[in-house]
Amino acid sequence: MADRYYWSLSQMQALESATADVQQGLTDSLRQVNALIGAVEADPMWSGEHKVAFLAWMDLMKQYHSQLASDDVGVAVSEQLRQFNTALSSFYSDSWSMARLRSVL
């Protein structure tokens, strides 16, 4: 019964892959935000309050995506996953911890 709570190596690899996919998605979104800002700034159809308001909102999106897409975030997430995997490995290899887990399940 406790087996369903095990994190397998393949699950950890899938989680790391998903994290990389999210990071790539954020980088792609940042690129698209920058392209949209450039297009709006260059398009004479955009003017006045609408242009100012839209560009202000897009600037917030750019800041948001820039912070999340930074390498520091990706490195921090990868490090946390590595530490999590190490802690789980220690827990699974500790017979007292596993016996305790089985006793409550």
Q: Model confidence over 41-82: pLDDT tens digits? A: 999 999 999 999 999 999 999 998 888 877 777 778 778 887
Tokens linked to 69: 């897409």
Give the number of domains in the chain: 1
In a domain, 1, yes or no: no
Does residue 3 carry a pLDDT above 90? no
Tokens 């998903």 belong to residue: 18
In a domain, 49, yes or no: yes
In a domain, 20, yes or no: yes
Does residue 98 carry a pLDDT above 50? yes
Contact between 59 and 67 (Cβ < 8 Å): no
The CA-based angle 84-26-65, given to 5 degrees, is 105
For residue 28, give its domain range.
9-104
pTM of the model: 0.61
In a domain, 4, yes or no: no
